[in-house]
Chain A
């Protein structure tokens, strides 16, 4: 049997193209269709839709028609669990429940079978939302993104609750950025350009690799490292480098995803750069083998994130070309896996 994985893309990959008005939502979807970057199409609600989570009938009809015309399948709607929007206090569980419920309804209206949520959704909140998810027929997936991993206590508590509730409507969205083997060059170069010294870069890289090899708690390491880097007294972006090195690049072994495989409802195939057809920091051959052999048969969204730090004077990389290169990499790996 060959892999049932279906490729696709999240429009998050094209954030700079959208933000700069080079493409609007419709043009991006058409570009994805024409270049064959589907069949799965994912969007971030608060990026692509003005007024989200409110979605008019007219917009929903137009959006569904646009995907159909381009032979794309809605794969996942990126939702946000914004517990901290108020300046004076965190939202109450009741306020947060209402905010997420509106996004579940939006997912159904737009035709998305999955809504991505974040760890700011507690086990209790998800249990409360389960009837809504069932009613709307939308599966909820909490993203597991660095510095979290399947073993982190916050994720463990969700896993325990999901096991107890035993519903196919509650699961996870693994982000491959949680399973990296190094800090990408595009990230480090971006911070060098912002004035971070080689000494600080080396300090962060060493601490990151040590945490990886010794399987240390990334949250603890990051806290101490940020203090250390701040004491080095350097440039404005020093602490940001230390913080984000752990925020974007995780240490979880690819095989550990097997622990939650039956609960995986969608995947973010994160990548930062492609060199010689390979993503140097994300072990794609291992990851795709784990998901394929683990029996995952859903969508795999190419998620390009290198644009965040791509500040080369000659201009940003073309996100569409990056995703094409990424999907060539994935197809190559999947073909080599062959029958199992």
Chain B
């Protein structure tokens, strides 16, 4: 177990007829605006997931993943959990799955002088998680 393992939470991995939902933590010491958060990759049992229509549910609001770069005024409080909703007709089989998630977080106060870009801190987390049949809505997020 490490601090970064909190990125994939053990609880709240659910499937339903339209897809599946994971509970994720922010692998960082501090809160960040969603514009600094990039869910780079998700795989399930070694198979890449299509994230083009995925949605992040945070603090009672839904955000399409592809819109995150614009959301510099929406903050993810570091101790809150988010729900990552991946659409997949028919869902996935309940039971254990190998889940691998890669997130890239922009570090907004570090920059190379003379350059207008900040470094991206990439965190990978792989876990075997148990998926249960759920209700299909994003459900409760947060603390």
Contacts and interface: CB of A to CB of B under 8 A. Distances in A.
Contacts of A21: 79, 143
Given A86-B72, A118-B109, A311 B30 contact: no
B3 A120 contact: no
Interface in B1-41: 1-3, 6, 25, 29-33, 35-36
B44 interface: no
B93 to A, nearest CB: 29
Contacts, number: 91
Given A46-B30, A84-B111, A85-B33, A18 B72 contact: no
Contact of B2 (A118, A240, A316): A316
Contacts of B116: 89-90
Tell which of B78, B80, B124 has the most Cβ of chain A within 10 Å: B78
A19 interface: yes
Main SS of chain A's interface residues?
A: loop
A47 B25 contact: no
19 contacts: A12-B29, A15-B29, A46-B78, A50-B79, A51-B75, A51-B77, A83-B108, A84-B36, A84-B106, A84-B107, A84-B108, A84-B110, A84-B118, A85-B36, A85-B108, A87-B72, A87-B106, A154-B113, A309-B2
Q: How large is the interface on B (under 10, 10 to 19, 20 to 34, 35 or more residues)?
A: 20 to 34
B3 A307 contact: yes
User: What 9 A-B pairs have minimum CB-CB distances, sorted nearest first?
Assistant: A84-B118, A311-B2, A87-B69, A82-B108, A84-B108, A46-B30, A50-B77, A16-B3, A46-B31
A316 B5 CA distance: 11
A310 B2 contact: yes
A80 interface: yes
B29 A120 contact: no
B64 interface: no
B70 interface: yes
Interface of A: 12, 15-16, 18-21, 24, 44, 46-47, 50-52, 80-90, 118, 120, 154, 190, 236, 240, 243, 307-311, 313, 315-316
Nearest to A244: B121
B30 A80 contact: yes
A52 B72 contact: no
B122 interface: yes
Contacts of B110: 84, 120
A8 B85 CA distance: 42
Contacts of B78: 18-19, 46-47
Contacts of A308: 3
B117 interface: yes
A20 B69 CA distance: 27
Contact of B109 (A12, A47, A83, A240): A83
